Amino acid sequence: MQSIDDIEVTGRRVLVRSDLNVPLDKSGSGAITDDGRIRASLPVIKKLADRGARVIVMAHLGRPKGEDFAERAAGGPSLEVVAGRLSELLGQPVAFATDLVGPSAVATVAALADGDVALLENVRFEPAETSKDESERGQLARELVKLGDLYVGDGFGVVHRKQASVYDLPAALPHAAGDLITAEVSVLQRLTVDPARPYVVVLGGSKVSDKLGVIGNLLGLADRVLIGGGMVYTFLAALGHEVGTSLLEADHIDSCREILTQAAERGVELVLPTDIVVAPRFAADAPATVVAADAIPAGHMGLDIGPQSRELFAAKLADAKTVFWNGPMGVFEFPAFAAGTRAVAEALTKLDGLTVVGGGDSAAAVRSFGLAEADFGHISTGGGASLEYLEGKTLPGLTALGA
């Protein structure tokens, strides 16, 4: 991949595809609750602006619904709040276009001087952005081409998507990879090509179905796999244990059995929790009880790994030289059920080897606990993209950049 250091940008209009898909407060304020992805995107935007580029940032936010731009824009969410935060972090005004390829975008781009930065409205307000019809995506890409001279892909969190601003647009313009993407790929290569051992993978999150492919691939790479979060209950069911009202994907029980068998055959240590924090309902104030992992009572749901499991997981991480962690161990947003996720995060800060936090909720948890990001080897900005890379899939956005 060509890097942004290889291209001349002074005085040129540079379309930058960033990942600014930040979480917003759901109580009504619409405020940004975690600006980590904005901060991660900042270095490339600033580097280009400092080199005299006219920077035009494209990004998505949420999953807008509607048949056309107007309907989706009316329902939101708009990137305007992101433009405000980006301006604060950059220390300079960020012009905001209220559309993507319409009159506002054209006028906003035309008004840019060297070193200026603009943000276009949510790319997903245009249905063609995510269309499976190549001609529809191509038409949107051709409209975007009119706004820029160069393309920079720096949104690692979306490189696994075949979308107009990720896949089709770079095919129509001279292009380069931003520093965020090159750094992400470099780290992921270290996880897949001759990793330092012991190599431990920690997987959590809600659905085992989202992780089956990556688990299967990592059984050929990792020395240990630790499993927590909502996905663990399908594994416990596969062992014949009662899981109460815990999250369960019954149609994947056989797949979990197969994974347990494969791990044993390959000599990979697959570690499940020995105790679970349960509650009678999904609520922050629900009374928490610790039970054995094979004794979850009927009418209760598992919401975190228990204290014995926290110690077990920390011990299994203690000698690791390479760690990949994706997915919380419990409902970390509720203080009563955050201890498992915190234990894993804190264990990683004590290691000397490469520690990679695989984006998404894991990265959000690290920040919510107030842990120093510098204590981790790498905090990814792309949970889904990281998983698909580790699964061995071809990522369209990387292919488009020449990877």
Beta partners for residue 56, in sequence order = 15, 118
The answer to whether 360 is a known catalytic residue is yes
The answer to whether 12 is a known catalytic residue is no
DSSP string, 134-183: HHHHHHHHHHHHTT-SEEEE--GGGTTS--IIIIIGGGGS-EEE-HHHHH
Among 363, 361, 325, CA closest to 344: 325
Among candidate residues 12, 13, 37, 316, the one labeled active-site is 37
d(CA 141, CA 175): 14
Among 4, 10, 232, CA closest to 113: 10
Residue 93 burial by Cβ neighbours in a 10 Å radius (0-12, 13-18, 19+): exposed
d(CA 230, CA 291): 16
Secondary structure (3-state) at 382:
coil
Among candidate residues 244, 358, 360, 397, the one labeled active-site is 360
Among 301, 305, 296, 337, CA closest to 203: 305
The answer to whether 207 is a known catalytic residue is yes
Among candidate residues 85, 142, 207, 321, the one labeled active-site is 207
Beta partners for residue 322, in sequence order = 199, 354
The answer to whether 46 is a known catalytic residue is no
- Enclosing H/E stretch for 360: helix 360-368
Contact 384, 159 (CB under 8 A): no
Question: Which residues have a catalytic role annotated?
Answer: 37, 207, 360, 384
